[in-house]
Structures are given as structure tokens and as C-alpha cells.
Structure 1
């Protein structure tokens, strides 16, 4: 007796599953304006060749729905605003890098961030793929010292080591922007420096404490995730960077607070002269709040858009209610949509949601350690 079929995982599903996804995709209300023969042509092409060519309109609709369907994203209220950069013509590493740099240019928008997805070529018929190795288009290097200490972001020690093996050299600071690393079916991994004018960074200062600026902290404004596959209607795009904008807690309560990242809470607590003799003094909590105040203040002063965790929680609840009125479920991973600080005083904490259906399509599908934009 056969074992029951398991849930589909990467690599891409078999043809039968992709034909089902194609039928379901063209049956969606958002594509009801397309002529019936378009669905038939797509199915025929998929049966005959294992894939089919989607129109830019179909990809944009699919990408918007992928964002709407992604159970771990708290920013889905704005799914309709997504812009598409069609880069399926980019078949060399240099062409893909140029498309990524155009993505950063459009997304940054002078600080008034825009949500953008860039869609590169699908896999070749033999299964070989175009890949952006970097987990985001902008990442900071991490350098491991002989004594075990780390300069920069510990999350990217391996990525930094790979870049160095490929010939890249950083300046050795805590905020060296790593090169963009790309692999194509015809080329080994190649690296490309991200043009400095495309990296909008925010220097951190505190509204009350002058010493905070002396810590030398900063972060990039555009969180463009590039290690997720975009699956639309039976077609998979393994090269599809996507961005929204940061929630303050992603930067202040994770990137700078996690002990395996920049681990800044002890430094800030000392500057605040807090009693660190015991966790019961809540020194971590107090340092965390002041760090996040600095993040929110600094982004606002710089003109780079960021949303605070209270506002985005209200926006998400509004989105869930709007989806219910439209007769749609809103698959949600409760543990991801609640912020990593002050969760109990946000509206997302005090309600239940539709189960997090990770197999719903269209969707952005994680192939790395990061399950959701953005960190």
C-alpha cells in the first residue's frame, strides 16, 4: 500500500501538480477578464513543454497574490501597490545584477520606499537555474577574528567568507556592504559591488541621548529579500527579489538586539547606567525600548520610510477584516506577525487567524533560513 502523499516541497512539483496550479491560477477572480482560450493555451503549453510563458500582467497579478498569501508577512495590507520589473530577458550574471540595481533604484525612491518585485528567468528545461546567492540585495559583512570575536553581522560570516574566496575585499568595518553574488546555468558564482549611490543608509541617533550617535550604528533602508522562489500558476521563478519596507522591530529588536547578531543591548544598558545585576531589573527591556526609539526617530529624520510595530499591527488587523469581507481567508502564522517586543499591547496578539497554509499558491517560497521578509 502506498504511503499518503506528502506536502509538496522544493524542488518544483511534478507536472500534474503544476497543471493543477495553472488551472487554479487562471480560475482566480483577478484573471477573470482573460479570454478562456488563454487558459487553454497555457495548459497545452505546460503539458507539452513542462512550462509556459506568462504575460507581464499575469506575473504582476500573481506576485501581488503571492504577497497577499504569504502567511508570515505582517505588511500585506499594501499588496495591491506592488510594482513589477520584468527581467526575464536577463540571462547573464551581469544582466541580472543590473536588474537588481534597477530594483534598488526604483524601490528606494528617494526614501519614499516602493514595494517592488523583479522577476528573472525561470529554470531551463533541464532544471538548471538562475540564482541570487545573497539572501538580500543589501547585506552587511561579518568578519571572524582569531579570538572568536566578530566585526560586523555574525549572520553573514559564511556569506562573507564566500565573497572573500571569490576575490572580494571589504574594509573590515561593522557595516561593509557585501557584494551581490549571482550564479547562472552557464557561469560560476560571480560577485558585483552594489553601487554606493543605491544603498540608502540611516545613521542612528536618539531623540534624547546625544551619546547614541557615537555608537556608530546605521542600517540600510530597503529590505529586498532575494532568496525566495516566486511560484505562480505552475511556473517557478527562482530569481525574484522582492521588497516592502522595514518595521522598526526588525531592525531594533532583532538585527541589533539578538545575541547572535549585533548584540547591542548590553552596550546601550551600560550607557544608560542601568542595573544589569539581574534580568529582573528589566535592563534588557529598557535598553530595547530606547534602541527602538532611536531607530524610529532616525528613519523619520532621514526621510526614509519605516513603519512602527503598533501601526503595522493595526494595519494587519484591518487587512484581515477586509479579506473576510471579501470572502477570502487570510492564512497567518501567529508567531511571525506579532512583533518581537510589546506583543501583548498590539491588536495582532489578541485574536486567532486562519491556519498558516504554506502550500497556497501563488506564493513566495523560502529556500533559505529566512521565512519572511524582512530582517
Structure 2
């Protein structure tokens, strides 16, 4: 039995993207080159790919723009997983979502993405700024997620060792309408009260790596009744452990548990999460109010490390200088405490280069 997958490539750039594929020991492969129009997904329906039956690791590379995504596909002695993503950070994304591993049906859905790198650092910063407060809030004010088909969950604990955004884009879909593609990765544990039919228990899930693909639609045409809908929810789990046994015939490996989430339980999960989103939009879920921090610290903005030395910036007086894409000095790792003012004017700025600033606050060009 060979490992196979249905594959799509989503181009979130505002210009077309050409995707080229090279492979090793593959049977069925993605069409190459594949030309994907701006803000679109191809192929539709998804392309079918499969590993070769000969006993050897199968793999392929997707090359587009300045990025390469390397993927293994196989089972048994071989593996299925992302070997690596190279190129400009956050401009490429991948999700290998199990659906029917080790069955006669297709084993995986592979989602690949290309797009601008603007949102991921901001989303990660937003998450980081609010995680400690959110964990404390949940311990004091458990969140009732309601029903997910036969399941119900009350979250009482959420402890993240790492919770980061790997890929994210937001594209227009019409007047005051947008589509978002987001991939998040979580390491940590979550626990609370879990019910499945008539069976209920306290349950804690821990994982070293769990990825989520979220595809959403945002509609703000009616500001009195905004709509935020989760259209796609897929997971990939490296491993997991449960504090209590659940009523399944056996303990399922991570890929089979992810397969159930992505198929059998998926509609119930989507319905439950969308109901939670509706409650959030109406302000009915986080009570007492949870104050959200907007102090972002995404780090240096890519491709703007020399912005201060550009001719356009050098021509400005100090009172006209603003930080690009943010009003927060933390985004550039700048100190929020002003140093001593030793100079009568700003003439010393004209010859500065984009290297490191003097650590003692002294001008390198004279006293």
C-alpha cells in the first residue's frame, strides 16, 4: 500500500506565481510547472499524488518565487512530513493534514501557500503579548465552548510553551469582505471538563507540536452585525498524550487522531467553533471582560533594516520621522527611555550608517 495525498497550492500574492516540482521515488506527482493566478487556488479539484511502491523514501520539492518547500511522503520505515521551508521567512506555508492513514482511501490533504510576510510576526506578537493574561483568565474564568456534536468542552487550563503563527494572509473578497489563511503551531497543554455522550471526565491534552490550518471569511458590510466564519479547520499532530483514557477501542496514534479531527469530527468542530465566534462577536463569551493587550513586538520589519539611512528618511526633520508600519518603538527593539540630549541640532544624523548605534550615547563624529 502506497501513501497518497490530494494537493492544492494557494497563491495569496497579488500577482501570478509559477510552481515547479522535482521529486524522488514518486509515482503520481503534482503538475509542473503549475501557474497559479493571483489570490487563487490550484488545481481544482486537488491534484492526486502518491509515493512509489519501491521500498525507498519518496519526496518532492516545490519551488516558487524565492521559496522551496521540501516534503517527505511514505509510511512504515519511511515518513510523511515537512523536511524544511527555505527562503524569505513567512512567505511560504504548508499543512500536511491526515485524513485516512493506512486505509484504502486517500491518506492526506496537502495544503501549500505562498504570500506576503506581513501578518505572521504581528499575529505571533499579539499572541505572545496576551498569553500570560489569557492563561490566568482561563484558570479563574473557565470558558464553556458548548457542544461539538456529541462532545462538550469547558476549558479550565491553557498553558502554552510555544504558540506561534507560521503563515498568515488576508486578502479582499469583495466590498468590506476578506479571506484569511492562517497556520498556527502550538506546544503545551490544555485541560478541563470533557464530555462525550454520557461519558464525562476531567481531561488534559499535552502535545509537543500541533499545527492548525484556519481558513476564514470576514464580512464587515453590516457593522452592526459583522460575520466571521471559519470555513476550514485542519490539524496535524506530531504527538500527544491524554491524562485520562477516553472511550475508544485503543489509544490512537497522533496521525489517526488528527485524521478523525479532520474528517469524522470535523463538521461538529467547525459548527461549535463558529458558534463560539458568533458569541464572541456579540460579546457573550469572555465575561468578566478580558482586556486585550495591543503592545506588539514583532521584531525588525523585514527589508526595512536600513530605512533610517534611505535618502527619503534622511531628508526629513526629526519631527517628521515616524516608524514604518507601526507606532510602537518595541517593533524595532528601540528603547522607550530617551537618552541624554547633548546636541543643539540633528546635524549628526546625516552621516549615520545602518550599523549598530553607539552604546554610550556619544556621537561617533565628535563631541
TM-score computed with the length of structure 1 as normaliser:
0.23
Q: Would you tell me which structure has more helix in proportion to its own residues?
A: 1
Q: Larger C-alpha radius of gyration, 1 or 2?
A: 2
TM-score computed with the length of structure 2 as normaliser:
0.24
